[in-house]
Every structure is written in C-alpha cells, then in structure tokens.
Amino acid sequence: MNTVQRIAKNTATLFAAQFVVTILSLVLFIFIARSLGDVIFGKFSFALAFTAIFAVFSDLGYDTMLLKRWSWKM
C-alpha cells in the first residue's frame, strides 16, 4: 500500500469514527434530555458548558506536547 492510499484510508477511518461519535452523542443527549426534564437538563447543560470553558484554558497545548514526547520514545 503506497502512501497516498494509506493517507486516504486513515482519513476515511477518522471521518467515519467522528461521524459515529457525533450521531451517538446526539442520541445520548436526546435520551438524557427526555429522562431528566427541562429544568434539570438545563442545569446539566450549564454545568457542561461551564466546565468546557475551563477545559480549554487548562489544556493549553499539553496534548500536543505529550504526543510529541511520546512519539520520541518510539
């Protein structure tokens, strides 16, 4: 398998995996919303949004740094 085919296969696999995760997340959130109700789901959504804001600031590129350090050891 040449490089172009490998890149195309890996790209298609990543796209398919992201599509599946998106669909499953949508189904999960619909299920959670129906089972919690509107008020409790609103609080749940606020808590997720609030923590997501701080997750952006706490990351600050550490995943890239860890990936680079991990790839050096291989």
Q: Are 32 and 44 in contact (CB under 8 A)?
A: yes
Domain count along the chain: 2
For residues 14 and 43, membership in a common domain is answered with no
For residues 43 and 74, membership in a common domain is answered with yes
**74, pLDDT greater than 60:** no
For residues 46 and 74, membership in a common domain is answered with yes
Tell me the one-letter amino acid at 70. W
For residues 25 and 43, membership in a common domain is answered with no
Residue-averaged pLDDT of the chain: 88
- Tell me what the mean pLDDT of segment 38-52 comes to: 94
- Integer Cα distance of 22 and 25 in angstroms: 5
DSSP secondary structure letter of residue 74: -
**71, pLDDT greater than 70:** no
- Residues 6-25: b if buried by 16+ CB within 10 A, e if exposed: eeeeeeeeeeeeeeeeeeee
pTM, 2 dp: 0.62
Of the two residues 5 and 59, the one the predictor is more confident about is 5
For residues 41 and 73, membership in a common domain is answered with yes
User: Whole domain around residue 56: which residue ranges?
Assistant: 37-74
